[in-house]
Chain A
Amino acid sequence: MTLLNPTWTALLYLAAAACFILALKGLNSPRTARRGNLIGAFGALLAVVTVFVSVKLDNIPWILGAIAVGSGVAAPVARRVQMTQMPQLVALFNGVGGGAAALVALLELSHTGDPWARLAIVFTLLVGAVSFAGSGVTFAKLQGLMTTRPVTFPGLPALMAVVLLAAVGAGVVVILNGSLLLALVLLLLGLAAGILLVLPVGGADVPIVISLLNAFTGLAVAASGLVLGNVLLLVAGTLVGASGTILTRAMAAAMGRSVAGIMFGAFKGGSTAGSTAVSERPVRSSSAEDVAVLLGYAQRVIIVPGYGLAVAQGQHTAAELALALEARGIEVDFAIHPVAGRMPGHMNVLLAEANVPYESLKEMSDINSEFKTTDVALVVGANDVVNPAAKTTSGSPIYGMPILEVADARQVVFLKRSMRPGFAGIENELLYEPQTTLLFGDAKDSLTKVLGAVKAL
């Protein structure tokens, strides 16, 4: 149908673009975030309706069917996914978006003879394919389909260089003569580059890569906007590309790493791969009852949840423990390290799911000064984010990462699965300090036992 003239079409697309800006703006604050997201969804709906009434389209039943299939698959998955598995779902959605952009660019190749448009097509093909394949690998890593440790092999940097050079070569030819065959080759090279890019990235850094690939997909969408002469795609893609870049840097900064260091660290051999050796040094381990006494007669307790809590699905028990302690008149807060959980901000989501009000979730910079006046810091399934080596050992892989200063608390209790070091594979000296008590076991089991013991006090 062509019910709308170009002016109205442009106005509606502009309105949709404004919705997207408001959506990102709204996501800046917990109070406006949900409304922001709904505004974004409305903008998307507006844009899709606009395209149906402004462009003469064939195959409309097919298109509607495809939309139904896409929604029918994605919406239930998005509704049902466990919040702990949410990072890989975001990676998956990001990847399919990149794949869609690459396919659109591929099909537009035969419609254009302009070298500039072909340049945009080449860019979209390559970046979209990198995003698709890279997201696939991050999904596999997070879903546990493959090892989360960095995967490298001797010829990797050379192979990457060859693939990129070949991609540039194929791209130049496509720009010059619009060869569909070479465009397909370019697509395959992009897929290979995406895989090679993400393989060497270690598990803890994967979320930053998701964010980076998210920005990549944004840029691919922006470029396809140039190809199709569609301003909405251009604006939306550029917005995501720009905001994704900033977000990637913010996340990396929260981990005390540089984006380049994460992407190429394993190439240089300075990756996050550490030892998984188990230390034999003596520690003070304790029973759930002893921990309950420590907690139950404290005045101020700070709970530091980490990845282990998320894996054990212990966030609800942690929330219950906080309530039980508060019922005894104890002041309880959760100290959230920016990268606690599987992805920056993930722990906030998990605890919010467990009905911990976000007022109780304190960010690192707000709470670090309060550990000095804290009786017990309860560290549940976290290790690297409280490791003083980040401040004291300049050779350590996590040196420079901001940490939660739990060592300042009068007592530190670690709920740990074993003495195995964390992601970064570094010993935590804090475990051997006199004020530290350890309770071994699965985070959820330990919390359940401590909770029972606190209630029995």
Chain B
Amino acid sequence: MDGMSLLTITVLAVFVGFEVVSKVSSTLHTPLMSGANAIHGIILVGAIIVAGQAADPWVLVVALLAVVLATANLVGGFVVTDRMLEMFHGRQRPPSSPGPGVPDGHGVVEPGKKERRQ
């Protein structure tokens, strides 16, 4: 891909990045940080490519180290974020309440009104 396209993609991604988190409530700062942290674990893709092209044993060793580290970032990041968010359920009252909690295991899709508290 040529340099101009890459630059275009980068600039647009910067704006998307600014935009998606600009209104986040402080309630979710920690999970958001952790979630973003998991996303950059995608360097795993780069580590796999480098390891898959390694011919020299030393290069392979270093590349595999990168794969291990990147996997830890990616998997650990998503798991710990999920654990945190698992706890953010609403009050577990009888279903008469207008904002029922998300039951465990299923029903993660909650089509109710979005809760936004600033």
Interface flags for A355-397 (1: CB within 8 Å of B; 0: not) read 1011111010110000000000000000000000000000000
> How many contacts A-B (CB < 8 Å)?
392
Q: Are A75 and B75 within 8 A (Cβ)?
A: yes
Knowing A75-B79, A235-B9 touch, does A97 contact B41 (C-beta < 8 A)? yes
Output the least CB separation between B96 and chain A (Å). Answer: 15
Output the least CB separation between A40 and chain B (Å). Answer: 6
Output the least CB separation between A323 and chain B (Å). Answer: 11
Q: Are A214 and B52 within 8 A (Cβ)?
A: no
A178 in the interface (beta carbon within 8 A): no
Q: Which of A16, A62, A107, A246 contacts B17 (CB 8 A)?
A: A246
Q: Are A210 and B33 within 8 A (Cβ)?
A: yes
Knowing A37-B35, A62-B60, A90-B37 touch, does A70 contact B72 (C-beta < 8 A)? yes
How long is the Cα–Cα vector from A106 to B31 in the complex, in angstroms?
31
A279 in the interface (beta carbon within 8 A): no
Chain A residues whose CB sits within 8 angstroms of the CB of B6 once the complex forms: 226, 231, 234
Knowing A79-B79, A104-B47, A116-B3 touch, does A31 contact B112 (C-beta < 8 A)? yes
A338 in the interface (beta carbon within 8 A): yes
Main secondary structure of the interface of B (DSSP, over half): helix
Interface flags for B60-94 (1: CB within 8 Å of A; 0: not) read 10111111111111111111111111111111100
Knowing A28-B24, A63-B52 touch, does A44 contact B41 (C-beta < 8 A)? yes
How long is the Cα–Cα vector from A228 to B112 in the complex, in angstroms?
42
Knowing A62-B51, A239-B16 touch, does A90 contact B80 (C-beta < 8 A)? yes
Chain A residues whose CB sits within 8 angstroms of the CB of B28 once the complex forms: 27-30, 33, 345, 348
Output the least CB separation between B18 and chain A (Å). Answer: 5
B21 in the interface (beta carbon within 8 A): yes
Q: Are A240 and B91 within 8 A (Cβ)?
A: no
Chain A residues whose CB sits within 8 angstroms of the CB of B23 once the complex forms: 28
Among A58, A355, A357, find the residue whose CB has the most chain B CB atoms closer than 10 A. A357
How long is the Cα–Cα vector from A96 to B88 in the complex, in angstroms?
27
A445 in the interface (beta carbon within 8 A): no
* B-contacting 9-mer, from A247-255, A421-429, A446-454: A247-255
Chain A residues whose CB sits within 8 angstroms of the CB of B17 once the complex forms: 24, 238-243, 245-246
Q: Which of A97, A106, A245 contacts B40 (CB 8 A)?
A: A97
Interface flags for B88-112 (1: CB within 8 Å of A; 0: not) read 1111100000010110000011101
Give the A interface residue count (CB, 8 A).
Answer: 118
Q: Which of B13, B41, B49, B99 contacts A242 (CB 8 A)?
A: B13
How long is the Cα–Cα vector from A408 to B14 in the complex, in angstroms?
43
A301 in the interface (beta carbon within 8 A): no
Interface flags for B1-29 (1: CB within 8 Å of A; 0: not) read 10100100110011111101111111111
A:1-49 near B, CB below 8 Å: 16, 20-21, 23-25, 27-38, 40-41, 44, 47-48
Output the least CB separation between B85 and chain A (Å). Answer: 4
Q: Are A34 and B86 within 8 A (Cβ)?
A: yes
Output the least CB separation between A377 and chain B (Å). Answer: 20
Output the least CB separation between B39 and chain A (Å). Answer: 5
Of chain B, the residue at the smallest CB distance from A354 is B87
Q: Which of A33, A55, A74 contacts B72 (CB 8 A)?
A: A74
A416 in the interface (beta carbon within 8 A): no
Knowing A57-B53, A345-B31, A359-B91 touch, does A221 contact B40 (C-beta < 8 A)? yes
Q: Which of A70, A93, A232, A338 contacts B42 (CB 8 A)?
A: A232
Q: Are A66 and B64 within 8 A (Cβ)?
A: yes
Q: Are B31 and A344 within 8 A (Cβ)?
A: no
Q: Are A25 and B47 within 8 A (Cβ)?
A: no
How long is the Cα–Cα vector from A237 to B67 in the complex, in angstroms?
17
A108 in the interface (beta carbon within 8 A): yes
Interface flags for A212-237 (1: CB within 8 Å of B; 0: not) read 00100110111011101111111111
Q: Are B43 and A70 within 8 A (Cβ)?
A: no
Output the least CB separation between A407 and chain B (Å). Answer: 22
How long is the Cα–Cα vector from A338 to B24 in the complex, in angstroms?
12
Q: Are A21 and B33 within 8 A (Cβ)?
A: no
Knowing A47-B42, A100-B66, A228-B49 touch, does A238 contact B102 (C-beta < 8 A)? no
Q: Are A349 and B84 within 8 A (Cβ)?
A: yes
Of chain A, the residue at the smallest CB distance from B101 is A357
How long is the Cα–Cα vector from A74 to B65 in the complex, in angstroms?
14
A158 in the interface (beta carbon within 8 A): no
Q: Are A89 and B76 within 8 A (Cβ)?
A: yes
Q: Apart from A67-B71, A245-B17, A345-B28, what 6 extra A-B contacts exist at CB < 8 Å?
A: A70-B69, A93-B72, A93-B73, A236-B40, A238-B14, A349-B87
User: Could you show 25 A-B contacts with beta carbons less than 8 Å apart?
Assistant: A27-B24, A30-B27, A37-B81, A40-B39, A44-B44, A44-B74, A57-B49, A70-B74, A74-B72, A74-B76, A78-B75, A86-B30, A89-B80, A104-B63, A238-B13, A240-B17, A242-B18, A243-B32, A243-B36, A247-B36, A250-B26, A345-B30, A349-B31, A352-B87, A363-B27
B residues within 8 Å of A by Cβ? 1, 3, 6, 9-10, 13-18, 20-55, 59-60, 62-92, 99, 101-102, 108-110, 112, 114-118
